[in-house]
Amino acid sequence: MIRFKPLPEDIAQRLPLASEYLRSHPRVVFAYLFGGLARGERRPLSDVDIAVYLAGSVTADVKLDIMGKLIDILGTDEIDLVILNTAPPLLAMNVLRKKQVMADNNPAMRHRFESLAFKKYFDFLPVELGMLTKRVANG
């Protein structure tokens, strides 16, 4: 939500409970903690970055259900929930760079996703570099 409220002091103790929930959710194939908390860089305005890959179709209801339960478990609405099924290559790569696996209900599917995410990212990298070069050249 990013209302700039500090995370609960016991957020580190709450994260395993969030992992348990994600492992038990019938639609969650795998999930990652990423961002500052995954890197051990908790700051006054940190949020909790969680990415999930879902089985079946991705609907707003499913995302809201997961988000609501995570808010209850973590004691904060300072959560950024990314649905990996629909994440663009740059966001997926940002998740994978410094991730902690929170749930892994299908390791083969997780490894396949990671391989494809890297491939898509490196396929897109020349386009991104071209856009950045053009942006720098044009001021």
- Residue 128: closest CA among 84, 85, 88, 81: 88
CATH number at residue 89: 3.30.460.10
Q: CA 20 to CA 86: how far, in whole Å?
A: 24
Query: In this structure, is residue 5 part of a structural domain?
Result: no
Find the domain containing 55 and state its range: 11-138
Per-residue pLDDT, averaged over 54-81, amounts to 97
What are the DSSP calls for 33-71, one per residue? EESTTTTT---TT--EEEEEEESS---HHHHHHHHHHHH
Contact indicator for 33, 99 with CB cutoff of 8 Å: yes
Query: In this structure, is residue 54 part of a structural domain?
Result: yes
Query: In this structure, is residue 110 part of a structural domain?
Result: yes
Per-residue pLDDT, averaged over 108-123, amounts to 93
Tally the domains of the chain.
1
> pTM to 2 decimals?
0.86
Query: In this structure, is residue 2 part of a structural domain?
Result: no
Look at 74-83, 93-102, 114-123 and tell me which has the smallest mean pLDDT: 114-123
1: confidence class by pLDDT, cuts 50, 70, 90:
very low
pLDDT in tens, 29-52: 999 999 999 998 888 889 999 999
